[in-house]
């Protein structure tokens, strides 16, 4: 069963908004056995939207349209769809009540345009939007389901999770798609592929393998359509054992989630001392629910004075070795360990951009538990923000290997 996604909005084509909805929809649909095989983005143009809809309906029995339902005049989708499917707009009392309550609850004045959200096509089923005022709509035509959903990610996701996916499952007889993930860090795509060359050559053709590289990590995704679960697991294990210590997870979780799981299971707490990462490490740990169980805090010290006052680093160490040095990284990690009384501390110090006095972007990272200390040095080849993300990636790899190293346990 295949699906198409149509996204509507000049802001997507002009690039002022990045489309994150489609990726989420792709993931969710895949999990219920629907394969998104086309995605089309069109602007706020009536003819373009109609043409895209007709073309996708010829291909697929599921079409999901996002965007174009806002209250302002540049949103033309609702009347267009109403007309396309041969209906007319009627006032929906339940939606009107919801819209009025929405503004009352937020203590915000309601405008005439807002109440227009209660006008819905008489040929559409309403999909309830808890978090916004534009209702989702479901049209049917020749056995096909056509969804029209708001473009706001929170609203779109909630509508799909509470009713949209269910409608699809109840309408179609879906195949069983199984994904298995092998998550690796430390080597590039071609290196990983070469390690697996011989193994992969004997893999059944109904199982597909894809490499998804991202900043020093490569996610391997096995996909089987109507392949028995045990065969998928067998191949997942085969590949994972081939890749050995490069593997940090055999489920689709991030490296930070794998580290969180380790820290919680080992009852270890962690603190950071951040110079060049500027808070990114702390921010990353605290994105994860339950982080207060292991994350104590982070001392972001952007200048030498803060490094001295807060982390207790002797100015002599900085002057002798410069602020970006192995010695300062170690001193920062030890400083954070003492300041936060954590079991483990990790520190970053580096240049994210070339300095005026000619130093190239580079980083020193140190980790310590008070007994064992590890450091790494890395040159940074990218621009500022990307270099910061790369430092995060190096830091997480260092932390993961520290936590899984038997010598530190």
Q: Does 101 engage in binding with a second copy (CB under 8 A)?
A: no
Alpha-carbon torsion angle 313, 314, 320, 325, nearest 10: -10
| Helical (H) or strand (E) element with 63 | strand 62-66
The answer to whether 180 contacts a second copy (rule: CB under 8 A) is no
CB of 138 to a second copy, least distance (A): 21
> Per rule CB under 8 A, is residue 72 in the interface with a second copy?
yes
Is 263 in contact with 396 (CB distance < 8 Å)? no
Q: Which of residues 378-407 bind a second copy (CB under 8 A)?
A: 381-382, 384-386, 388
Q: Interface residues for a second copy in 225-254 (CB under 8 A)? A: none
Rounded Cα distance between 391 and 298, Å, is 16
Other Cβ atoms closer than 10 A to 74: 11
Q: Of the listed pieces 241-249, 257-265, 282-290, 325-333, which binds a second copy according to CB under 8 A?
A: 282-290
Q: What is the DSSP letter of 35?
A: E
By beta-carbon proximity to a second copy, the closer residue of 309 and 372 is 309
Binding residue count for a second copy, defined by CB under 8 A: 100
Q: Does 209 bind a second copy (CB under 8 A)?
A: yes
Contact between 30 and a second copy per CB under 8 A: yes
Task: Give the footprint of a second copy on residues 139-168 (CB under 8 A).
Answer: 152, 154
Q: How far apart are the C-alpha atoms of 136 and 269, rounded to whole Å?
A: 44
* Cα separation, 2 vs 29, whole angstroms: 9
Question: Any idea what the Cα angle at residue 162 is, between residues 161 and 163, rounded to 5°?
Answer: 100
> How long is the chain?
409
Q: Which stretch binds a second copy (CB under 8 A): 88-96, 163-171, 234-242, 279-287?
A: 279-287
Tokens 């096909």 sit on residue: 144
Residue 174, phi then psi, degrees to nearest 5: -95, 145
Greatest pairwise CA separation for the chain in angstroms:
79
Among 1, 32, 174, 300, binds a second copy (CB under 8 A): 300
304 lies in the site for a second copy, by CB under 8 A: no
Give, to the nearest 10 degrees, the angle between helix 46-59 and helix 77-84.
Answer: 50
Pick from 53, 65, 134, 301: which binds a second copy (CB under 8 A)? 301
Quick one: which of 1, 32, 39, 327 contacts a second copy (CB under 8 A)? Answer: 39
Spatial CA neighbour of 363 closest among 249, 281, 247, 259: 281
Q: For a second copy, which stretch binds (CB under 8 A), given 88-96, 135-143, 229-237, 336-344?
A: 336-344
Nearer to a second copy, 74 or 206 (CB): 74
Of 139-147, 217-225, 234-242, 324-332, which segment contacts a second copy by CB under 8 A? 217-225
**Contact yes or no for 207/196 (Cβ under 8 A):** no
Q: Does 8 bind a second copy (CB under 8 A)?
A: no
- Tokens at 315, concatenated: 């100015």
Determine, following the binding rule CB under 8 A, whether residue 189 of this chain makes contact with a second copy. Answer: yes
In the bound state with a second copy, the residue whose beta carbon lies nearer, of 140 and 254, is 254
State how beta strands 35-42 and 2-8 pair: parallel
DSSP characters over 163-214? IIHHHHHHHS----EEEEEEEEESS-HHHHHHHHHHHHHTS-TTEEEEEEEE
Among 54, 122, 305, 322, the residue binding a second copy under the rule CB under 8 A is: 305
Q: Which of 122, 237, 303, 320 binds a second copy (CB under 8 A)?
A: 303
Note whether 48 binds a second copy by CB under 8 A: yes
40 binds a second copy (CB under 8 A): yes
Instruction: Report 102-121 residues binding a second copy (CB under 8 A).
Output: 108-109, 111, 113-114
Which range of residues in 22-30, 120-128, 365-373, 398-406 is near a second copy by CB under 8 A?
22-30
């Amino acid at each position: 069963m295949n699906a198409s996604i149509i996204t509507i909005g000049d802001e997507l084509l002009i690039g002022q908004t990045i489309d994150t909805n489609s990726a989420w929809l792709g993931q969710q649909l895949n999990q219920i056995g629907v394969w998104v095989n086309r995605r089309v983005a069109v602007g706020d143009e009536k003819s373009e939207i109609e043409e895209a809809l007709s073309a996708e309906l010829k291909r697929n029995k599921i079409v999901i349209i996002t965007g174009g339902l806002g209250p302002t005049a540049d949103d033309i989708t609702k009347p267009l769809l109403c007309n396309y499917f041969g209906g007319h707009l009627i006032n929906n009392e339940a939606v009107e009540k919801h819209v009025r309550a929405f503004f009352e609850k937020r203590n915000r004045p309601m405008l005439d345009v807002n109440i227009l959200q209660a006008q819905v096509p008489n040929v559409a089923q309403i999909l309830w939007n808890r978090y916004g005022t534009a209702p989702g709509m479901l049209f049917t035509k020749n056995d096909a389901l056509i969804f029209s959903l708001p473009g706001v990610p929170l609203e779109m996701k909630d509508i799909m999770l509470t009713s949209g996916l269910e409608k699809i499952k109840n309408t179609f007889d879906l195949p069983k798609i199984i994904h298995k993930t092998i998550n690796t860090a430390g080597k590039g795509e071609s290196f990983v592929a070469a390690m697996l060359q011989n193994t992969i050559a004997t893999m059944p053709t109904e199982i597909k393998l894809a490499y998804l590289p991202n900043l020093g990590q490569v996610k391997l995704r096995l996909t089987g359509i109507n392949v028995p679960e045990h065969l998928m697991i067998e191949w997942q294990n085969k590949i994972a054992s081939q890749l050995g210590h490069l593997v940090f997870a055999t489920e689709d979780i991030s490296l930070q989630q794998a580290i969180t799981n380790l820290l919680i299971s080992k009852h270890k707490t962690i603190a950071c001392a951040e110079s060049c990462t500027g808070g990114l490490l702390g921010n990353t740990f605290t994105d994860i629910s339950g982080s207060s169980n292991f994350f104590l805090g982070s001392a972001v010290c952007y200048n030498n004075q803060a490094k001295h006052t807060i982390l207790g680093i002797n100015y002599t160490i900085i002057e002798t070795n410069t602020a970006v040095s192995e010695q300062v990284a170690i001193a920062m990690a030890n400083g954070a360990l003492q300041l936060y009384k954590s079991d483990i501390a990790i520190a970053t110090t580096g240049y994210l951009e070339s300095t005026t006095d000619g130093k190239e972007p580079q980083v020193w990272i140190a980790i310590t538990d008070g007994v064992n200390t590890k450091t790494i040095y890395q040159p940074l080849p990218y621009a500022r923000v990307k270099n910061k993300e790369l430092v995060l990636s190096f830091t997480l790899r260092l932390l993961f290997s520290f936590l899984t190293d038997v010598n530190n346990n």
